[in-house]
Each structure stands twice: as structure tokens, then as C-alpha cells.
Amino acid sequence: MVESFVVEVCYASPELQECIPVKVQPGTAIREVVKASGLVERYDIDWAINRVGIFGKLKTLETLVRSGDRIEIYRSLLVDPKAARLRRLEKNRSVKKLSARGPNPKGP
């Protein structure tokens, strides 16, 4: 007899994080586990936009799960990480220029 095992399916939005334990059989693919969790319907997940991974590593929906895996459903990014980093860099540069001028000569 084949032993079943438990994996977690996790989804996070800016407001909440939800992890659902799902009991599966060996040879079960991520797609089946995510469907069994009910998160797809609850959060209207679109596979054309959302991606999945196991412990932070991107995987396909056909990847087979193993005992103890944490399947993560990723949302699309709202801001390009490179653009956000560039904005922070420019902001820090302007702050450094202001602080390099010294104290305000007109008083406190």
C-alpha cells in the first residue's frame, strides 16, 4: 500500500497569507495539489499571470511534489524591482547632497 503525505499550499496577498495542508499520494503534480487546496477558486488565481514554486524556487504545474513540500503561488509584481531600486538610489543620492551642505545658515 502506498503511503500518502502532506504538503502545504500557500498564497499571500498584501492583506493576508493563507497556507492550506493537503494530503496527497506520491506522483501527484503541483496542479492537482493546488486545485485540491481550493485556493484557485477562493482567490481567482489566473495561471496566465500567476506562477508557482516550491520553497522559493520556480516550478512548473507538472512538477511532482514530495513529502513536506511548501507550494507557493506567486502574484505578479506591481512594480518592476529594477525601477524601484533605481528610484531608491536616486532618492538616497538627493538626501546625501542635502546633508553634505551642512546646517542651515539661517538658524534651526
Residue-wise pLDDT for 38-56, tens only, equals: 998 898 888 888 899 999 9
- In this structure, are residues 29 and 47 in contact, taking their beta carbons and an 8 Å threshold? no
Query: For the residues 87-97, what does the mean pLDDT come to?
Result: 77
Quote the strand ranges of 13-100, DSSP E: 17-24, 51-54, 57-59, 70-74
85 lies in a domain? Answer: no
Number of structural domains found in the chain: 1
Provide the pLDDT confidence category of residue 90 given band limits of 50, 70 and 90.
confident
81 lies in a domain? Answer: no
Provide the pLDDT confidence category of residue 104 given band limits of 50, 70 and 90.
low
The phi and psi torsions of 88 (rounded to 5 degrees) equal -65, -40
pTM for the structure as a whole: 0.69
14 lies in a domain? Answer: yes
Residue 63 has pLDDT above 90, yes or no: yes
The domain that holds 59 is classified in CATH as 3.10.20.90
* Residue 85: predicted pLDDT: 84
Top mean pLDDT of 4-8, 13-17, 86-90, 95-99 is at 4-8
| Percentage of the chain lying above the pLDDT 70 cut | 85
C-alpha to C-alpha distance for 9 and 58, rounded to whole angstroms: 14
Written as nine digits, the cell of 7 is 504538503
